[in-house]
Amino acid sequence: MPNRYTHTAISLHWLIALLIFAAFPLGVYMHDLPLSPDKLRLYSYHKWIGVTIFMLAIIRLVWRATHRPPPLPANMPKWERFAAESVHHLLYALLFLIPLSGWLMSSAKGFQTVWFGVLPLPDLLGKNKELGDLLQKVHELLNFSLLGLVLGHAGAALKHHFIRHDTILERMLPFLRRNS
C-alpha cells in the first residue's frame, strides 16, 4: 500500500479546507453587517459555498468508504493514533452537520436555499421562528467546535512535519514529496 493519500483524497481535502477558510470568516463578517443589498448578497454566497462543501463532503465520504487511508507510522503512540482518528471522524461529521444546520436554519427562517440561484434545496422544515433561532445557535456552536478541531488538527500536522520530521503532512500535500 502506498504511503500517501490518493490524488482524489488530496484534492478533496484541500478544496474543502479552502472553501471552509472562505465560508467561516464570511459567516462571522456578514452576521454583523447592517441590513443592505450587500448583506443579502453575502448571505447567499455563504450558503452557496456551504452547500458546495456539503456536496464535496458527500463525494469525500464515498471516497473514504471505498479507500483505506495510508497506515499511520508504526512507532506512533496509541493515544496519538486514537486522537488523530477521533479528530478525523469528528471533522467528517462536522462537514455534514454544519451545512445541514445552515440549510435547516434557512428553511425555518422562511428563506429557501437556492444553490447559485439555480438549484433549490427542498425546505425540510416549515417556517418557525423559535426553531430558526435555535438552529442558528446550533450552527454557531458547531462552527466554533470546528474552529477548535481544525486548529488542533493543523497544529498536529505541523508538529509532525517540523518537530517529528515524519511524512504525515507530506502524504496529504500535493507537493513536498520526499522519496520514501
Partner 1 sequence: MRIILLALSCLLSQPALAANYSTLVPQQSSVTFVSTQMGVPVEGEFRKFNATITLDPDHPERGTARINIDLASIDTGNQEANEEVVKPLWFDAAAHPVASFTSTAVKPLGQGRYAAFGKLTIKGKTLDTQAVFNIEKQPGQLLLPGSFKLKRLDYAIGSGIWSDTSAVADEVQIRFRFVVAKP
Report the interface residues with partner 1, using CB under 8 A.
35-38, 40-41, 43-44, 109-114, 117, 127, 129
Cα end-to-end span (Å), the chain:
12
Query: Looking at beta carbons only, is 83 or 121 nearer to partner 1?
Result: 121
Query: Looking at beta carbons only, is 121 or 179 nearer to ligand HEM?
Result: 121
Query: Looking at beta carbons only, is 88 or 164 nearer to ligand HEM?
Result: 88
Residue pair 53/16 in contact (Cβ under 8 Å)? The answer is yes
The residue type found at 102 is G
List Cβ neighbours of 131 (8 Å cut-off, separation of 6 or more).
108, 125
Which residues in 47-169 belong to E strands, given as ranges?
Answer: 114-115, 119-120
List Cβ neighbours of 83 (8 Å cut-off, separation of 6 or more).
156
The reply to whether 52 sits near ligand HEM by the rule CB under 6 A is no
117 binds, among ligand HEM, partner 1, none (CB under 5 to 8 A by kind): partner 1
- How far is residue 95's CA from residue 92's CA, in Å, rounded to a whole number? 5
Question: Between β-strands 114-115 and 119-120, what pairing exists: parallel, antiparallel or unpaired?
Answer: antiparallel
Query: Looking at beta carbons only, is 31 or 159 nearer to partner 1?
Result: 31
The reply to whether 102 sits near ligand HEM by the rule CB under 6 A is yes
Cell triple for 123: 425546505
51 binds, among ligand HEM, partner 1, none (CB under 5 to 8 A by kind): ligand HEM
Residues in contact with ligand HEM by the rule CB under 6 A: 13, 16-17, 20, 23-24, 27-28, 31, 43, 46-47, 50-51, 53-54, 64, 69, 84, 88, 91-92, 95, 98-99, 102-103, 105-106, 113, 136, 139-140, 143, 150, 153-154, 157-158, 168-169, 171-172
